[in-house]
Amino acid sequence: EPEVTQTPSHQVTQMGQEVILRCVPISNHLYFYWYRQILGQKVEFLVSFYNNEISEKSEIFDDQFSVERPDGSNFTLKIRSTKLEDPAMYFCASKTLGGTGELFFGEGSRLTVL
Amino acid sequence: DQQVKQNSPSLSVQEGRISILNCDYTNSMFDYFLWYKKYPAEGPTFLISISSIKDKNEDGRFTVFLNKSAKHLSLHIVPSQPGDSAVYFCAASDLTGNQFYFGTGTSLTVIP
């Protein structure tokens, strides 16, 4: 069964460092997403991406964050300078275009900031 | 602005009994509703969905009910099994089908 894969499963970084989280969406999906879940809190939308550009982003997705699809398979989330409030599970998800249909989530990347 | 709300953070049910998880939403433009199940340290996995044109969708032990006038949906699990113990998230999408809003989750514990 096709799945969304994320790497690394756990990223430990120093505050102020850049972090790149990687995702390989399901191959025939066209919409890509990043969500995060801070421990004990809800799953929060960060950004959606379609046709090589951001289609929507939340208030959380400020200038510290960026997304990129550097090739035909990877979808990355970059945090330029990590802060103490950034630790969370970051989930990548993908979906076929439009209509009804569910998001398929990856296993998540846990970010720890020291 | 919390457009999708799950007011019960946790629920405990005896094995074999019915689990009922509730979800409310505020946006009348939501067109499609989903339930996701999440185990610790794993990503959410899709469980069941319902379109706004229906009021019920059933898949095995799982049934989702939608009450559009009340902007309320519920997930029924019958009979509940210990393996159902997880966090359940309600989600809604808009007419584009490409933007999803999640609730805060309900942690279900099924007691053997």
Closest partner CB to A43 (pick from B44, B46, B99): B44
Q: Give the pLDDT of chain A (114 residues) as one tens digit per residue.
A: 779 999 999 999 999 999 999 999 998 898 999 999 998 788 889 999 998 999 999 999 999 999 999 887 899 999 999 999 999 999 999 998 766 678 999 999 999 999
pLDDT of A99 reads 63
**Rounded CA separation B67/B109 (Å):** 26
In A, minimum Cα distance to B44 occurs at A105
The burial of A41, by beta-carbon neighbours within 10 Å (0-12 exposed, 13-18 middle, 19 or more buried), is given as exposed
pLDDT of B25 reads 96
Is the bond preceding residue A8 a cis peptide, omega within 30 degrees?
yes
> Could you tell me how many residues make up chain B?
112
pLDDT of B33 reads 95
Q: Best interface-test mutation with A: which of B36, B37, B52, B100 has the largest number of A CBs within 10 A?
A: B100
DSSP, residue by residue, chain B:
--SEE---SEEEEETTS-EEEEEEE--TT--EEEEEEE-TTS--EEEEEEETT-SEEEETTEEEEEETTTTEEEEEESS--GGG-EEEEEEEE-TTS--EEE---EEEEEE-
Q: Give how far the C-alpha of residue A100 lies from the chain's centroid of Cα atoms, to the nearest Å.
A: 22
**Rounded CA separation A78/B78 (Å):** 43
Q: Give the pLDDT of chain B (112 residues) as one tens digit per residue.
A: 678 999 999 999 999 999 999 999 999 989 899 999 999 878 899 999 999 999 999 999 999 999 999 999 999 999 999 999 999 999 999 877 778 889 989 999 999 9
pLDDT of B26 reads 94
Task: Calculate the dihedral angle through the C-alpha atoms of B79, B32, B27, B23, rounding to the nearest 10 degrees.
Answer: 10
Share of chain A above pLDDT 70, in %: 97
pLDDT of B77 reads 98
Q: Give how far the C-alpha of residue A13 lies from the chain's centroid of Cα atoms, to the nearest Å.
A: 17
**Tens digits of residue pLDDT in A72-101:** 789 999 999 999 999 999 999 999 876 667
Amino acid found at B91:
A
pLDDT of B16 reads 97
- Tell if the CB–CB gap between A108 and B41 is shorter than 8 Å: yes
Torsions phi, psi for B17 (to 5 deg): -90, 175
pLDDT of A72 reads 77
Q: How many Cβ atoms are within 10 Å of A83's Cβ, its own excluded?
A: 11
- CA atoms in the 13 A half-sphere facing the CB of B102: 23
pLDDT of A8 reads 96
pLDDT of B72 reads 97
pLDDT of B1 reads 63
pLDDT of A41 reads 82
pLDDT of B40 reads 85
pLDDT of A98 reads 64
**Rounded CA separation B40/A104 (Å):** 17
Name the DSSP letter for residue A98. Answer: S
Interface of B with A (CB under 8 A): 32, 34, 36, 41-46, 49, 51, 89, 91, 93, 96-105
